[in-house]
Amino acid sequence: MGGDAEVMALHTGGYSSLPLALEYLENVKVCVMGTGRFMPLLNAYTFKELRVIEKKFEPEDITRRLKGVDVVLGGYGPGEQKEVAIAASELGVPFITYPLITTILPDGISFEEVGFPGSATSRGDTIAEILIRTVQVIELIKLFTGIGELVFPPEALELVIDPTTRDFDVRKIRVTVR
């Protein structure tokens, strides 16, 4: 992983107690693309460090911003995510995509190889945004605690909202891998 030596991915193991696993997250350095209303959720986990990549970022600054982090939560559009995902991979840092959620590992299928459907863009809906970001955080927790099963390409998680009832579901889908 890209951050401190004290933090490593535990997705192959697991903790015997949930409190111990969640305490472990206090050692994790997170970088997130964008802020928004989900920042209190991220702050609630008391990660060791929380960095933000704003929408108007300079591509030449990305590697510097990502050095030392343990995971990146994607955001914005596919073009911005691609730039950050490439830099993260070069630094050995996992990248959790947005709004379709899958975990890109540095030694796995790359962001560029995944064919995200054209509908995989932000909805601009505050509730949908918070729900998608929450699922990203759940994947982050799985990555570092070993609790639950991570989703890797060619699989991804998609938030589906019924516009009439506002009920939602998270579905596992398959994405194209080139």
For the chain, residues with pLDDT lower than 70 are: 1-17, 118-124
- What is the model's pLDDT at position 122? 56
Q: Quote the DSSP letter at residue 2.
A: -
Three-state DSSP class for residue 51: strand
H or E segment and range at residue 156: strand 155-161
Residue 162 CA, distance from chain mean position:
24
Q: Quote the DSSP letter at residue 46.
A: T
Tens-digit pLDDT profile for residues 31-67? 999 877 778 888 888 899 999 998 888 888 999 999 9
Residue 157, amino acid: L
Cα-flanking dihedrals φ and ψ of residue 38, to 5°?
A: -90, 0
Distance CA 34, CA 36 (A): 7
Domains of the chain: 18-177 (3.40.50.720)
- What is the model's pLDDT at position 170? 94
- What is the model's pLDDT at position 121? 53
User: N- to C-terminal Cα distance for the chain?
Assistant: 25
- What is the model's pLDDT at position 17? 67
Query: What's the mean per-residue pLDDT of the chain?
Result: 86
- What is the model's pLDDT at position 7? 53
- What is the model's pLDDT at position 11? 44
Identify the residue whose tokens are 């099963």.
149
CB 71 within 8 A of CB 114: no
- What is the model's pLDDT at position 55? 86
- What is the model's pLDDT at position 70? 97
